[in-house]
Amino acid sequence: MNRSQISRRHVLFSTLAFAGASILRSRDGRAVEFRQTNDRPRIAAVGTGSRWCQKATGIDGPWGSAPDVRQFGDYVAVCDADSSRRQRAAELVKEWTAADPAVYADYKAILDDPKIDIVHISTPDHWHARIAIESMLAGKDVYCEKPMTLTIPEGREICQVCEKTGRVVQIGTQQRSEVQFITAVALIQNGRLGKIRKATCSIGGAPTSPEIPVAAPPQELDWNMWQGPVAETEFRYLAGNNGETQSWSRCHYEFRWWYEYSGGKLTDWGAHHVDIATWGMGLTNTGPKKVIPQHVKHPVEFRDGYPVDRTRYNTATEFLIRAVFEDDLEIEIRHDGDNGILFEGTEGRIFVNRGRISGKPYEDLKTNPLPAGALEAAYKNRPLVDHFRNFFEAARDRKEPISDVFSHHRALSTCHLAGIAARLNRSIEWDPVNEKIHNDPQAEALLAREVRKGFETDRGSL
């Protein structure tokens, strides 16, 4: 989120002040309780691309989660498969802390360091689960950027390990800590929409690419480590006027548009909006019965769920996918429309995104406000604070944070199932209790990924 977005968010907080809670509580000076050295946990960053901090990628800008996280703790180690990025990250940390951090190419050294309290994971998606699991087993708390996993079985294992170890894990679905989304959930929970029936998540489509040639990995990149647990393949790169990397590739930032490493927009923005839809509709302990792809367009041909062309981006560029739950509740995921979530109930509808919340049930708050404490009740009965403070307070108090692994696993499972249905271009039936696909071995086979030899999860077993 850039500075102009932050300013707009503060304006939005002011316009929502009548919603029924002390929503501006201590957002300025919010690190006041984490000023003393003994109050500040020690953090290791694994993955130091633009989601961690733009400056670590050579982009001149403050965007990323690290500038916010550092208010509450001190980075003492950085790790990245790209030596240029980890060196820039080390320089940034020294600017922030006046001390040189430990610098690693392999995250396992972080797990072996008893002085590190928190692991902040900002790697590509295909690394999230393994690092999170091993960090918990090593006794660390975890802040993991979204999406939490590449597959549904990874999500189940993360939930099991989190429950077993008692570690505190926050997922970077920061919309859960933004007041307009909390207000939307509180409106639903207080019956202002009547019986909720449907949520439509408009998340945008994925980009296409030209043919990307095989190339030698740059000298600073350990391509083998970057690929990690997924199937080994050739490095591809084409320079050009495209995005923050000024290129098309299989690597930094552009990994999002390859099913080998991500789920495209279905898990990129879907991890945000489907999470809010699932939360608002009270579906965080279950999953859909059926996932129906009504329209799907991929940039390359697919055969048996796999792309035929290895030279181009392959995630879905257009889609309209319906996830149907018990009682005919429905979450619709689509590429078009105004980015955000539309909730529909028997007595009204509201639309919410990062810029606004609208609809008659919301407008009615001017004359009929929510009861005192309604927003805090939606926010797990905790005071409203920003997403990072919520995590650090949860870690300090040994409480479950607002974006817990259990609810995120359920919401993200819907996104993963949508991806499988899109790849096969057919409906799939899902057993949300046993978390299995009914009567479709081909779809069932797409639930998990074979882990590349040498990159199996260690640190013990369940």
Could you tell me the pLDDT band of residue 60, with boundaries at 50, 70 and 90? confident
Average pLDDT, rounded, for the chain = 93
Determine the residue type at 1: M
pLDDT of residue 396: 97
What is the separation of C-alpha 6 from the centre of its chain, rounded to a whole number of angstroms? 19
Determine the residue type at 307: P
Could you tell me the pLDDT band of residue 409, with boundaries at 50, 70 and 90? very high
Could you tell me the pLDDT band of residue 105, with boundaries at 50, 70 and 90? very high
315-327 average pLDDT score: 98
What beta strand segments (E) does 310-356 contain?
Answer: 318-324, 330-334, 340-345, 348-352
CA gap 277, 293 in Å, rounded: 18
CA gap 64, 69 in Å, rounded: 9
Q: What is the pLDDT of residues 107-129, one digit of tens each?
A: 999 999 999 999 999 999 999 99
CA gap 295, 304 in Å, rounded: 17
pLDDT of residue 361: 98
pLDDT of residue 216: 98
pLDDT of residue 369: 98
Please say whether the beta carbons of 158 and 85 come within 8 A.
no
pTM for this entry: 0.93
Give the β-pairing of 330-334 and 318-324.
antiparallel
Q: What is the pLDDT of residues 268-317, one digit of tens each?
A: 999 999 999 999 999 999 999 999 999 999 999 999 999 999 999 999 99
CB atoms within 10 A of CB 108: 13
DSSP structure class, residue 218: P
Residue 208 in this model has a pLDDT that exceeds 60: yes
CA gap 186, 230 in Å, rounded: 40
Residue 8 in this model has a pLDDT that exceeds 60: no
Could you tell me the pLDDT band of residue 33, with boundaries at 50, 70 and 90? confident
Which of the given ranges, 7-11, 17-21, 200-204, has the highest pLDDT on average? 200-204
- The larger pLDDT score, comparing residue 14 to residue 383, is at 383
In order of their start, the domains of the chain are: 3-174 (3.40.50.720), 175-379+404-462 (3.30.360.10)
CA gap 387, 68 in Å, rounded: 9
Give the dihedral sign, CA 411/421/259/265.
negative
CB atoms within 10 A of CB 254: 25
3-state secondary structure of 236: strand
Looking from the CA of 417 toward its CB, the CA atoms found within 13 Å total: 33
Q: Which stretches within 318-451 are classed as H helix?
A: 360-363, 374-378, 387-397, 405-424, 441-445
Query: Which helix (H) or strand (E) covers residue 14, if one does?
Result: helix 3-15
The angle at the Cα of 175, spanning 1 to 255, to the nearest 5 degrees, equals 60
CA gap 394, 401 in Å, rounded: 5
